[in-house]
Structure 1
Amino acid sequence: MLQKTSHFMRQANLINGEWVQADSGQTVDVNNPATGLKIGTVPKSGKAETRRAIEAAAEAFKTWRKTTALERSKLLRKLHDAMMDNQDVLAELLTIEQGKSLFESKGEIGSAASYILWFAEEG
């Protein structure tokens, strides 16, 4: 199962459009709660990384708020479609990370995608 989802697993933080590690270089293990097996690591980030992420988000919002409702809707629909196109793989990833059943994970992806579609239609 892990081999199919590995291209979706980024073991880094996305800050300002770049995948980065913690400034300290430290990581935290991520284990499958159902098996106890290590499935990856994540950066052990601190205040500095958090501050940069918040600043990058605030900067990105300046552009996003100027985006028309129609364009936002198109982008949200594109996100919805990508989630549904990859529902099985994303569900496997949730199952590995959270230890829940594949059936439940698949439903969670569908539910999340439906919320995104709802917001896309709200404009």
Structure 2
Amino acid sequence: MEKKILVVAATFGFFAIILGAFGAHALKKVLTLDQLTSFETGVKYQMYHALFLLFVGTTSLVTIKDKEIIFYFTLIGVLFFSGSIYLLTTSSITSIKSKFLGPITPIGGLFLIAAWGMLTYKLLTKK
């Protein structure tokens, strides 16, 4: 499980760098300032959670079972939160109908909050 967490963390980081560069260069010319700011928010949160998963995957302070739950909360959270932001902000240039994704973004945020909350709880209650 720890290897899986670290591989996903590295993958999230890898793609956050690529998407950040893509946003700063290619998308800067075709998105509005508000769209670009939202896209950058998706990239930031993806990178924050790549680093978060690096910590979760390498710490010995939480059990494997707890790491697994935190991992899946984070995975779903990043895919829903950042993924929906990417699709929503680029829909004007991709022609992907993504309005239905609007409610997915806060659900992703709730999963991310749950991951951090669970980690905090497990660290506080560790004996």
TM-score, normalised by the number of residues in structure 1: 0.29
Higher share in helix:
2
TM-score, normalised by the number of residues in structure 2: 0.28
Higher share in strand:
1
